[in-house]
Structure formats: C-alpha cells, structure tokens
Amino acid sequence: MIVPRPIIPRLALQSLRNRALTASLTVLAIAFSVMLLLGVEKVRTGARQSFADTISGTDLIVGARSGSIQLLLYSVFRIGNATNNVTWKSYEDIAKRPEVAWIVPLSLGDSHHGFRVLGTTADYFERYKYRHGQTLTFASGGPFKDLFDAVIGADVAKALGYEVGDPIVVAHGLGSVSFIEHADKPFRVSGILAKTGTPVDRTVHVSLEAIEAIHVDWQGGMPVPGESVSADAVRQMDLKPKAITAALVGLKSKLATFKLQRAINEYAEEPLSAIMPGAALQELWGLVGTAETALSVVSAMVVATALLGMVTMILTTLNERRREMAILRSVGARPGTILGLLATEAGLLTLAGVALGVVLLYATLALLRPWVDATYGLNLDIDAPTQREWLMLASIVAAGFLAGLLPAMRAYRLSLADGMTVRT
C-alpha cells in the first residue's frame, strides 16, 4: 500500500506556479503591508525602549509642582520648560533627608546653538545612568574642573565640530539663534562624552556655579546696563545657586520611595513634585497610546487591503478555473476538497507574503539602523520577533486563509451548479 501524497497542497502549489506573475505580485503586496505593520511595531517599541533607556538608576525626580509627564520631559528629555524653579533651600532640605543616598541638581534655561545647557555638579557624570545602568563615559577630556569648563555631548561635538579646549559662548534662552549671549564669559570645552543615544548627546553640561556666574549681572532675563561683572571678578563672588530646575534623587532603599515621594509632595515651604521615572513613563505611554493605536490601525488596514487584493486576484481567476473544478470533481474530489484547494492557495500566498515581509523588514532594519540612530537618536534593536509580533504574523496568515474561503465558497457553489459541464 502506498502512502497517498497530500494532493491539496501540491495542487495548490502547482496552480500558483502556473500563475507566477500575479501570485508573486500578490505576495509582494502582502509582504510590503506586513513590513509596514511590523515596522511600525518595531519603531513603536524601539521608541519606548529608547525613552525607557534614557533614565536608569534614578528613583525620584524632583521639580516644581507640575504634572509628572511635564517634569519628566523637561528634566530628562529636555522637552518643554519648567513652570517654576526649586529653591536652593528646598534642595538642601531634601538632600539632608536620611533616605537620600545621592542627589544631583539640574539647572536648565540656557542654550548653545540650539543645544540645551545643563548646569549640574560633577556627580552627574557618575550618578546619571542610562540603558540598564550604564554610566556616562568620556570620549575625550574629563569633567569640569574650572568654573568656566563645559562638558559636551557627542552630538554637540559632532554637529559643531568642537574638540577639547575650544571656547564656546552660551546664549540666554533656548532659541537656536539667540541675540542675547553671555559673550563676556566664554566657556572652554573640558570633555566630550561618548555617544549614548539619549538627550545627553545633545546637551552642554556646565557646573551649577557657572550658571550662577553668567547670570550674576542679569536681572529679569536681561543684562543690567552698566553693572557688568567681568569673568575674573565673578570668580571672587559667592556663587551658591539660589534656585535649580530639578533634581535627580537616588535612595538608600527603594522601599522608602513612596514615603519620600509623599514627603516631598507635601513639602510645606514650597509646592514641589516628586515623580518616579518609570511611573511617569507609563503615564506618557497612556498619553501617546492613542497616536500609536491610530498608527497600528492604519497599518492593519494596509494589511487588510493587501489581503483584499489577494481575494480579488483569486476571484478573477475563478471563472477560467471552472473547468479545473469540474475535472477535479469528475475524478472524485469533494466540493470540500475544492474549498480546501482555494483556501490553501490563499493561505500559501499569505504565508509567503508574511515570510517575505519579515525578511524585507529585517534587511531594511539592518540597513537603516545606523542612520535612524544618528538622525533620530532611536536605537532599533534587531532581535527576533516578540511573542506579540509572532501572534500578529500568525493572525495575518489565519486571516489570509479565512479570506481565501470567500472565493473558495464561490468556487464550491459554481462546481455544484456546473455539474459535469466543463465550461471554458
């Protein structure tokens, strides 16, 4: 007794090969749609990962009372502005609390050729962690030692062509073209940080005292005429800051996080907010989730369109294939077999489309990854499809198979109505 070879997949394959051109175009359409759908998914998770990777090891971020997303965005991502400042007294009060292991002040508000200037302490370079706890490293030079030293991020150095020792002038305010500059107190590049893929790359870091120094002769956002203080004179002054924008806080024990957060939020002398970066990120995802969903829906629609194209392709060939159906019926194929044949064809087309789409996507990712990272600071990991992505792919194949049932049902009805007549 010989084992019967499975006839349906074989016939389906041969039939598809017979229509190689239309079949391959259909496969290509499905492949592109799958590529889009999966690409959106990859960029979406990549963007989330990039955001999540930006801050690590910080337990609380403290700033003036505001929404947690706003605080997170301006303190870590340099997006938007602070509503208010935190007084130095509040900062010192928090720093003195027993739960606090370390605290790093952040002072924002100035810029250099469109790059934000961040006033902080040298601790920043040790305490600030990104991507699973990596510490900042210097590509050249080192942290600031002098009052007018600046440490620049990798993108700043690359965009402006700076090297260690170059002088830079900080502009007041945040515009990329600013007419009010702190030209009387130029800085010197003391170090250049290695690329991190975070907003650190696009930041000019100076000491907190330097921020104070360049504003010492300013009032209400403008230099006070006739009261200019020279760079040398300012060194002799008390440069203890009066206010900062925000602070990163590390705790001795994570168990104390909620307790300290509540204490800061209820701080009596000044309205403050303390946020947990992870929780704020979640809140952010909740906010951008709608846009993400819209994007996913659009790409799902594109997949549906491709499948519709496939159904159309199969339907248009159906009439010329009625004789094929009659032949199969005559040799004893059940209507169910014909149903299976066409559904299998659709399934095979979709499977091929999905497989090709995945291959194309990974090839594109591999090709564009360095460019995306450099241009958008978006690190797209090339890893195997996640469980969620596998599920998406499997659903597409299933949907293709089901969509194939539509022409299959029609062929089934035709084959019943045609009887023994071979129509051409």
Interface residues toward other proteins, by CB under 8 A = 1-2, 4-5, 7, 11, 14-15, 17-18, 323-324, 326-337, 417, 419-422, 424
Nearer to other proteins, 4 or 225 (CB): 4
What burial class does residue 331 get, using C-beta atoms within 10 Å of its C-beta: 0-12 exposed, 13-18 middle, 19+ buried?
exposed
Quick check: 89 and 249 in contact, CB under 8 A?
no
The least distance separating other proteins from the CB of residue 418, rounded to whole angstroms, comes to 9
Closest CA to 374 of 160, 154, 175: 154
Nearer to other proteins, 268 or 331 (CB): 331
Q: List alpha helices for 55-87, DSSP H.
A: 68-76
The least distance separating other proteins from the CB of residue 342, rounded to whole angstroms, comes to 14
What burial class does residue 65 get, using C-beta atoms within 10 Å of its C-beta: 0-12 exposed, 13-18 middle, 19+ buried?
middle
Nearer to other proteins, 17 or 96 (CB): 17
Pair of tokens at residue 326: 């009659």
The least distance separating other proteins from the CB of residue 299, rounded to whole angstroms, comes to 34
Nearer to other proteins, 36 or 408 (CB): 408
d(CA 156, CA 160): 6
Instruction: Report residue 284 CA to chain centroid gap.
Output: 12
Closest CA to 343 of 96, 9, 43: 9
Closest CA to 138 of 129, 148, 149, 151: 151
The least distance separating other proteins from the CB of residue 48, rounded to whole angstroms, comes to 48
Closest CA to 89 of 241, 259, 225: 241
Nearer to other proteins, 306 or 341 (CB): 341
The least distance separating other proteins from the CB of residue 19, rounded to whole angstroms, comes to 8
Nearer to other proteins, 1 or 177 (CB): 1
The least distance separating other proteins from the CB of residue 6, rounded to whole angstroms, comes to 9
